[in-house]
Structure 1
Amino acid sequence: MRIRNALLAMTSMVALPSFAMASTITGPYVDMAGGYNLVQHQQFRQGNPGTSHGRGIGGNAHSGTGFNGYLSTGYGFGNGLRLEIEGTYNQTHITRLGGAFAAGGNRKAHGKSEGWGGFANVLYDIDLGMFGLNDVPVTPFVGIGAGYMWQRYRKVYNRSTGRPDPNFNNTQGGFAAQFIAGAAYDIPGVPGLALTTQYRFMGQTGSMSGVTSGRQYLHNNNENHGKGDRVSFNTRYTHQFMLGLRYAFNNAPPPPPPAPHVVVPPPAQAARTYLVFFDWDKSNLTGRARDIVAQAAQASTHVQTTRIEVNGYTDNSAAHPGPRGEKYNMGLSLRRANSVKAELIRLGVPATAIDIHGYGDANPLVATAKNTREPQNRRVEIILK
C-alpha cells in the first residue's frame, strides 16, 4: 500500500503544470534532492559455525518510513547526455521482526538502519520535441548508476523481550546500483535553476554481516545466542521518491533559430546599366542575352559615353568542389565578360572603350546559402559611363 501511494504521489508531481520549458544542460551543474525512503522486507540469518547455533536462525526485518538525500555534481554535453558523481545518505526505522526470531509470527521491533556511499551516474534528458510535443513544458530524464554503499544496523531487538545490550552494531559495505527516472522544470527568472522530481530504485548486494555483541534477545522465547554470533543479510532493495533543485552554471540562452531564407529582389538598376544572364556553368550568349547586349550597344551611340565596364559574375555553386571551385568560378566570370565584349565589338562598339573584369561569386544580386544555383547571380553587368 505504501509503495502504491508513493508512486501515485510521484505521478501527480510529474503531471503538475510546470513553470517553463526545461533546457538541455551544457557544461557543469550541481544537484541536490531529498525525500521519502521505503525499504522492502529484508531477510537475515544469525549464527556462528563455532557454536551450537552453527546452522543459524533466519528472520526478516520489516522497515517503516525513512528519509534519504543526495548531493551530486556533473557535466552536460548539450545533446541530452549527462555524467555525474553523487554522494548519498539514507535512514530507515525497523518496525517488525518475522520468521524464526519471532516464533513464526511478526513481532514489534525497535532499531534503525542507515546507509551512506557514492555513485557514478549516467543520465539522459529526453527532448519531447522529437515526438512533436514542442509545447509540453517538461524535460523527462532517465539514468543508471553504480557505486558502493555502507549500511549500518543499530540496536535492532524484539520489543517483547526487552532492550538487550547493543547488537547489530557492525558496519559493512557492498556494491550498489540504481535506476533513475524523473523530470525537470526550469524556474522562471533564475537562469540555470530547475526543480526536479524523481523516483529511484536502489539495490545493494548481500553478504553484509556483523558480529553481535553481548547477549541476544531477538528470539521470542528469550533464547540467548552467544557473543560473536554473525548476522548476514540478503540483497537490500530501496524505493526513493525525491524533490530537488538543480543549477547549471553555463546557462546562456540557446541561440535563436536561423532566419528563414528570404530571396532578396535585385536592386533597381540605373538607366545606363544592363544585365545579361547566363545558364549554369555556361559562358555563351542566349538569344535573350544578345538582345540585351544590342540594347546596350545602341544606347552607347546615343548618350555621351567615355567608358563601358563589362563585369562578369557567377553564383556560389561550382562545377568543381573546394578551393579549385573558387578559381574555376573566377575564370568562368571572366569568360562571360569576354563573350559580352566580343558581341559589343561585333555590334560596332570600339574595343578600346570596353573594360572587362571577372569577380567570381562576389557581389551577388541575391543572397543565398553556400553552393546554391541562383540564376540572377550568373550575370554580366554592362555599365555605360
Structure 2
Amino acid sequence: MRLRTALLATTLMAAAPAAASATTITGPYVNVGGGYNLVQSQHAHISGFAGGASSDENVSSSRYRHQNGFTGFGAFGWGFGNGLRAEVEGVYNYSEINHRTASVANKTRSSDQSYGGFVNVLYDIDLKQFGLDVPVTPFVGVGAGYLWQHYNPTYSYFSNKNTSHLGGTNGGFAYQGIIGAAYDTGIPGLQVTTEYRMIGQPGSFVDGAFSSSANYANGSTGRGHVNFDQRFNHQFILSLRYAFDTAPPAPPAVAPVPAVPVHAPARSYLVFFDWDKATLSARARQIVAEAAQASTHVQTTRIEVNGYTDNSAAHPGPRGEKYNLGLSVRRADSVKAELIRDGVPAAAIDVHGYGEAHPLVPTGPDTREPQNRRVEIILH
C-alpha cells in the first residue's frame, strides 16, 4: 500500500503543469535533492548459534521489515546538448526497522543506513520531436556504484526470553534505475525535478559481514554471522538542478527597416500594321494577348495604347497628316478592343493617336517605313 501511494504521488507531481518551456542541458550542472526511501522486507540467513557454541550447521532464517525512511543526494554532471547526460552522485539512505519474524510483536526496533556513490547515465526526452509543446522534459537513466550498508544496533526479543543483537557494516556493488521529469522555474538554468529511483544490491553481503550475538535464558551467549539477500530501495525524490551553461541568449532584435517601395519599370509591347491598315494580323493578336496576360501578373495601374503611322499617306498634303492622325487612333482602338476581348477592363486602357509624330525610324518625307506603322502598349 505504501509503495502504491508513493508511486501515485510521483505520477501526480510529474503531471503538474509548469510555467516555462523545458530545457535541454548543455555543459556542467549540479543536482541536489531528497525524498522518501522505502526498503522492501529483507531476508536474513543467520548461522553460528548453538547454545553458546559457534557452528555453521546451526542456520536459521528471519525476515526484517522496514518502515519509514529518507534519502538525500548530490550530483555533478555534464549535458551533451543532445539529451544525453552523465553524472557522478553521492547518496545517503536511512530506513527504520520495525519488525522481525520469530520475535515477539513490536519488539524489534532499530534502523539501518547506506552511503556511497553512483555513476549515472541519463537521457532527456524532448517531447517537441513528437509534436508536443509542453513545459516538461521527461528523463530516464541507469547507474552503477558502490554502497556501504550499516545496521545500527538491532535488538530482537523472542518469546522464549532470548534476545539477539545485530550490527555491523559492509560494502558492495549497487545499481539503480531512474525515471523522472524536469520543469523550468523561470530562472535561467534552474529546474525542479521529480523522480522515482529503484536501488538494488544483489546479495553482496557474505558470511562474517555482520556480527550477531545472542543471550540465552540459561545465561549463555553465542556469536554468529548474518547474510542478507538482495536489497531493494524504492525512492521518491524532489530535487533542484542548476545548469551553468544554459543555451546562449537570442541575438537582440533588430528593428526592421521600412522597405522603400520600388515601382516596377513599365513594360511595353509593339504591334505593327500594314500600310494604310488598322486590322490586326495573327502575329499582332498574339502580341496583344501577351500584353493582356502580363497585366495580370504584374502590378498594373494603367495601360497606355498609343497609335502611330509613317509619314506617307493615302492623301498627300495637309489632308494626309489629318488622315494619318485618324489612322493612328483607329489602330489604337483595334488594339484596345483586342485587349478587352483578352480580359483587360476597358476602364484601365487609355488610347492615344499621334499620327506621324515620334517615329521609331527617322526617314525622309513620304516614306513607307513598316516600323513606324505601329501601336505601342505600355503597362504602368
Which residue pairs with 1:58 in the alignment? 61
Q: What does 1:179-258 correspond to in 2, within 5 Å?
A: 179-188=177-186, 190-209=187-206, 210-212=209-211, 215-217=213-215, 226-227=222-223, 229-253=224-248, 255=250
Give 1:211 deviation, angstroms: 3.8
Query: Against the structure 1 CA distance between its residues 163 and 13, is the aligned structure 2 distance closer, same or farther, given a 3 Å change threshold?
Result: farther
Give 1:19 deviation, angstroms: 2.2
Give, in whole Å, the separation in 1 of the partners of 2:220 and 2:4: 39
Q: Does 1:89 align with 2:92?
A: yes
Give 1:48 deviation, angstroms: 2.6
Letter in 2 for 1:152: H
1:259-302 CA-partner distances (Å, limit 9, x unpaired): xxxxx99966789xxxxxxxxxxxxxxxx9xxxxxxxxxxxxxx
Which residue pairs with 1:17 in the alignment? 17
Q: Is the 8 A contact 2:170 2:210 kept in 1?
A: no
Which residue pairs with 1:342 in the alignment? none
Percent of paired sites with the same residue:
48
CA RMSD of superposed structures (Å) = 3.5
Q: Is the 8 A contact 1:62 1:97 kept in 2?
A: yes
Letter in 1 for 2:118: F
1:354-383 CA-partner distances (Å, limit 9, x unpaired): xxxxxxxxxxxxxxxxxxxxxxxxxxxxxx
Query: Against the structure 1 CA distance between its residues 211 and 7, is the aligned structure 2 distance closer, same or farther, given a 3 Å change threshold?
Result: closer
Give 1:117 deviation, angstroms: 0.7
1:143-174 CA-partner distances (Å, limit 9, x unpaired): 00001111011111224578968x43321111
Give, in whole Å, the separation in 2 of the partners of 1:223 and 1:2: 41
Query: Against the structure 1 CA distance between its residues 73 and 225, is the aligned structure 2 distance closer, same or farther, given a 3 Å change threshold?
Result: same
Give 1:46 deviation, angstroms: 1.2
Query: Against the structure 1 CA distance between its residues 18 and 205, is the aligned structure 2 distance closer, same or farther, given a 3 Å change threshold?
Result: same
- How many residue pairs match? The answer is 262
Asked which structure has the greater CA Rg, the reply is 2
* SS of alignment partner, residue 246 of structure 1: strand
* SS of alignment partner, residue 166 of structure 2: coil
Q: Is the 8 A contact 1:80 1:125 kept in 2?
A: yes
Give, in whole Å, the separation in 2 of the partners of 1:216 and 1:238: 29
Which residue pairs with 2:32 in the alignment? 32
Give, in whole Å, the separation in 1 of the partners of 2:263 and 2:185: 51
Query: Against the structure 1 CA distance between its residues 80 and 207, is the aligned structure 2 distance closer, same or farther, given a 3 Å change threshold?
Result: closer
Give, in whole Å, the separation in 1 of the partners of 2:132 and 2:39: 36
Give 1:141 deviation, angstroms: 0.5
Q: Is the 8 A contact 2:157 2:163 kept in 1?
A: no
Letter in 2 for 1:18: A
Which residue pairs with 1:334 in the alignment? none
Given candidates 135, 143, 146, the residue that maps to 1:145 is 143
Letter in 2 for 1:203: G
Gaps of 5+ in 1: 257-263, 272-287, 289-385
Query: Against the structure 1 CA distance between its residues 266 and 54, is the aligned structure 2 distance closer, same or farther, given a 3 Å change threshold?
Result: farther
Give 1:225 deviation, angstroms: 5.6
Give, in whole Å, the separation in 2 of the partners of 1:223 and 1:240: 43
Give, in whole Å, the separation in 2 of the partners of 1:198 and 1:76: 18
Which residue pairs with 1:121 in the alignment? 120
Give 1:3 deviation, angstroms: 0.3
Letter in 1 for 2:197: R
Give 1:207 deviation, angstroms: 3.5
Q: TM-score, normalised on structure 1?
A: 0.61
Query: Against the structure 1 CA distance between its residues 233 and 132, is the aligned structure 2 distance closer, same or farther, given a 3 Å change threshold?
Result: same
Give, in whole Å, the separation in 1 of the partners of 2:219 and 2:99: 18
After TM superposition, the structure 1 stretch with the greater mean CA deviation from structure 2, 36-45 or 50-59, is: 50-59
Q: Is the 8 A contact 2:173 2:204 kept in 1?
A: no
Letter in 1 for 2:242: Y
1:46-104 CA-partner distances (Å, limit 9, x unpaired): 11398345331110100000000110000001110000000000010100001xx43xx
Which residue pairs with 1:78 in the alignment? 81
Which residue pairs with 2:154 in the alignment? 156
Give, in whole Å, the separation in 1 of the partners of 2:263 and 2:138: 54
Q: Is the 8 A contact 2:111 2:154 kept in 1?
A: yes
* SS of alignment partner, residue 208 of structure 1: coil
Gaps of 5+ in 2: 252-258, 267-286, 288-380
Which residue pairs with 1:174 in the alignment? 172
Letter in 2 for 1:246: R
Give 1:224 deviation, angstroms: 6.1
Give, in whole Å, the separation in 1 of the partners of 2:147 and 2:127: 34
Q: Is the 8 A contact 1:26 1:78 kept in 2?
A: yes
